[in-house]
Amino acid sequence: MAGKGGRDELAAALRRNLGLRREQAAARRDAGLRSSASAAKTDAIADGLGELSNMGVLPDHWIRKMALEQAMITPFEDRLHRDGVISYGLSSYGYDARCSTEFKIFTNVDSAVVDPKNFSEKSFVDRSTEVCVIPPNSFALARTVEYFKIPEDVLVVCLGKSTYARCGIIVNVTPLEPGWEGHVTLEFSNTTPLPAKIYANEGVAQFIFLKGDSPCEVTYRARAGKYMSQTGVTLPRL
């Protein structure tokens, strides 16, 4: 029979062998996972999905580069202005646009009906002013100071400024589609029972730029969208 020393050597050899087998099994599992991930990536690309990690919210340095080199935002403010005004300009992951002095305030003086398919100019009155007063539970249209040119692989969404939101003033802007350009028409709803002020040449909404993983098949420009290259406050079109 083997002595104690021989038994110890045998036990150590068995432990080494078991450890080696465990390492080999782990290596095979890792190789299988890498192979599965590679296959999934290949399938996604083949399906036109690409690498979804390429999608995301675009940061300040990208916005600055596109504004200065591609005229994506004109005029462009390279920093956030906020001393004594509602903030506007470049922010961390977006751009706070300003409202111009052009306003169309909705009124029922002429008992007009608001019809998106047959919009009547009797529905509003025009005002050019630094401070627009929206009547209680009423509505106004305005436009951005800035003219936007949206890249063909980018979608832009808009969110109202918290300063106005806390006063019951809602800013509504539909997405800026890939390839679109123009002044952005702004919609202000005064949800309060009191008159509400909108300040021209100050911030009213933040635009967030979202990059797609690949360019879309048909851009807004390519399909000749009805609000392409709009200037001023643009009314509904059919």
- Catalytic residues, by residue number, are 187
Two structure tokens written together for 10: 């045998």
Two structure tokens written together for 53: 């990690």
Closest CA to 167 of 187, 143, 196, 142: 196
Please tell me whether the peptide bond between 195 and the residue prior to it is cis, using omega within 30 degrees of 0. no
Length of the chain: 238
The CA distances from residue 39 to 47, 50, 145, in Å, are 12, 13, 49
